[in-house]
Structure 1
Amino acid sequence: MLIKNHAALRDATDATSKSLGLARLMLALSITLCTLQAHAGRPMLTDDATIVEQCQLESWAQRERTGTRFWAVPACQLLGVEWALGVAKTPAGEPQQYEFSAKTELKTLQTNSYGITAQLAYQFDAGQQQQGDLQLNLALTQSFAADTWLLHLNAGRLHREQAHNDWTAGIALQHEFAANQWLFTELYRENAGRPVYQLGYLAEVLPNRLQLDLSYGNRVSRSGREDFLSAGLAFYFSVL
């Protein structure tokens, strides 16, 4: 387009300034939301009440008495819904489980306030012709002390294909004890009986880009019988 007079040039300059200002605002919002996302999520069993701003890849290894599994779960946000598709494999690379989930915000989490999300997830074992378990989960996250403390609460319903249906519940407390470093503790119930506890450490080694995590868990009062170790990462990125 040709600019034919000074007024048009002035208008174009104003428009450019406004566009730059909007771009800076969107960048700041994106960084803020990415930071909230990095505060929670993996490796907790209890879900957090946020969705990814653009895309992320969560990957981890979990060692149990029955063996080791490697998970990879890419997810992207589209139309206000976080869509995720995951697969668990053996050390030999054979698929063991698949998972698909969709998660959306009912109330956006803000500093010193709370957020609520709803998630629908479906998981099935490899070779089971997509016959698996369906779970509906509601998550609430409360922020305290400028996001240095986060409380996560979950309540859901699990519909099993080959076992009894059951309620699920979780509670987790997360604390930023140093810059870009967090500790968490949680209790999570998925089956009838005693809940699982987990203790973990999270660190953003590349702020808003790469998070590493390490955790230990076990069933309450089942010393060593159902314990597990988990180590993984979360990588945040954009496809645009």
Structure 2
Amino acid sequence: MLTGLLACPATHAGRPMTVDDAAIAAPGQCQLETYALRADQLAEYWVTPACNVGGAWELAIGGAWADDTSGPRSQTTHHFRVQAKTVFKPLETNGWGLGLVLADQFRAGRGGDGDLSFNVPLSLSLRDDAVLLHLNAGVMHAESGRRHHATWGSGAQFRLDKRHTLTAEVYGRQHSGSRYQFGIARALIPDHLQIDATWGRRLARGGGEPVVTLGLVFQSN
């Protein structure tokens, strides 16, 4: 379970979505994403700060503590993620945008030898940004097995009002199956503080492997 969840496409648009979008923070702006994940006998806790550097790139460095109790003994591991994201065409209201995400996710003690990923997000704005659609296509080189895997994802954000947003998405990785996920976000302080939650599971006959997350996002001016 631990390997399956951490190996999901790691690009992501920001809480509560896993699928990424064609947008980055404004120049000089930073944000901090934190969330807790629970899946059967697995618990993860992530903290990821990200800032716009130089205007064209958004850089993020995240870390996680994971506790897996599925075996005879509890196993605790630490994971890290480094990501660089840029936008070729900014997403405009009732228009479209295109970006690029490069990332490396690795476990402590592996000397930075981890899962390298390349992802291209395409975003579409409909009904004056009331609905945002995101399509992802990419490749991951997995440290486990030394193999290349195609990755993909599609998702939608539905703005209910100034404070509430619903999300729905499906994403997957070659040789590892697919997952679907639903989420809700509430802006406690618009443009500064958000709380969110998701629920998802494996996309297959009978489903299985349900995952729940709860997160907070802090954003600077």
TM interval, short-chain normalised: 0.7 to 0.9
Given candidates 105, 111, 114, the residue that maps to 1:129 is 111
Could you tell me how far 1:74 is from its partner in structure 2? 0.1
Instruction: Please state which structure has a larger fraction of its residues in strand.
Output: 2
| Residue equivalent to 1:43 | 16
Contact 1:87 1:95 in 2 (8 A): no
Aligned runs of 1:131-210 on 2, under 5 Å? 131-163=113-145, 164-210=147-193
Is the counterpart of residue 86 in structure 1 residue 62 in structure 2?
Answer: yes
TM-score by length of 2: 0.85
Given candidates 188, 199, 205, the residue that maps to 1:216 is 199
Misfit runs of 4+, over 3 Å: 222-225
From the superposition, tell whether residues 70 and 223 of structure 1 become closer, same or farther in structure 2 (CA, over 3 Å): farther
State the Cα deviation string for residues 10-51 of structure 1 (Å, max 9, x = none): xxxxxxxxxxxxxxxxxxxxxxxxxxxxxx521211001110
Could you tell me how far 1:95 is from its partner in structure 2? 5.4
- Paired with 1:224 and 1:67, the residues of 2 have a C-alpha distance of 18
Contact 2:16 2:167 in 1 (8 A): no
Q: Which runs of 5+ in 2 are unaligned?
A: 1-12, 68-75
Bigger shift: residues 204-213 or 221-230: 221-230
From the superposition, tell whether residues 97 and 154 of structure 1 become closer, same or farther in structure 2 (CA, over 3 Å): same
- Paired with 1:207 and 1:123, the residues of 2 have a C-alpha distance of 31
| Residue equivalent to 2:39 | 64
**SS of residue matched to 2:177:** coil
Contact 1:186 1:199 in 2 (8 A): yes
Contact 1:42 1:234 in 2 (8 A): yes
Q: Indicate the structure (1 or 2) with the bigger Cα radius of gyration.
A: 1
| Residue equivalent to 1:112 | 94
State the Cα deviation string for residues 56-112 of structure 1 (Å, max 9, x = none): 000000101231110000000012100000000147xx6521000000011011100
- Paired with 1:59 and 1:209, the residues of 2 have a C-alpha distance of 14
Name the amino acid aligned to 1:64: A
Bigger shift: residues 216-225 or 229-238: 216-225
From the superposition, tell whether residues 131 and 199 of structure 1 become closer, same or farther in structure 2 (CA, over 3 Å): same
TM-score by length of 1: 0.78
- Paired with 1:87 and 1:68, the residues of 2 have a C-alpha distance of 14
Instruction: Please state which structure has a larger fraction of its residues in helix.
Output: 1
From the superposition, tell whether residues 74 and 159 of structure 1 become closer, same or farther in structure 2 (CA, over 3 Å): same
Aligned residues: 198
Identity of aligned residues (%): 38
From the superposition, tell whether residues 197 and 236 of structure 1 become closer, same or farther in structure 2 (CA, over 3 Å): same
Contact 2:100 2:121 in 1 (8 A): yes
Could you tell me how far 1:126 is from its partner in structure 2? 1.4
Is the counterpart of residue 231 in structure 1 residue 207 in structure 2?
Answer: no
**SS of residue matched to 1:226:** coil
- Paired with 1:147 and 1:103, the residues of 2 have a C-alpha distance of 22
- Paired with 1:201 and 1:178, the residues of 2 have a C-alpha distance of 12
Q: Which runs of 5+ in 1 are unaligned?
A: 1-39
Superposition RMSD in Å: 1.7
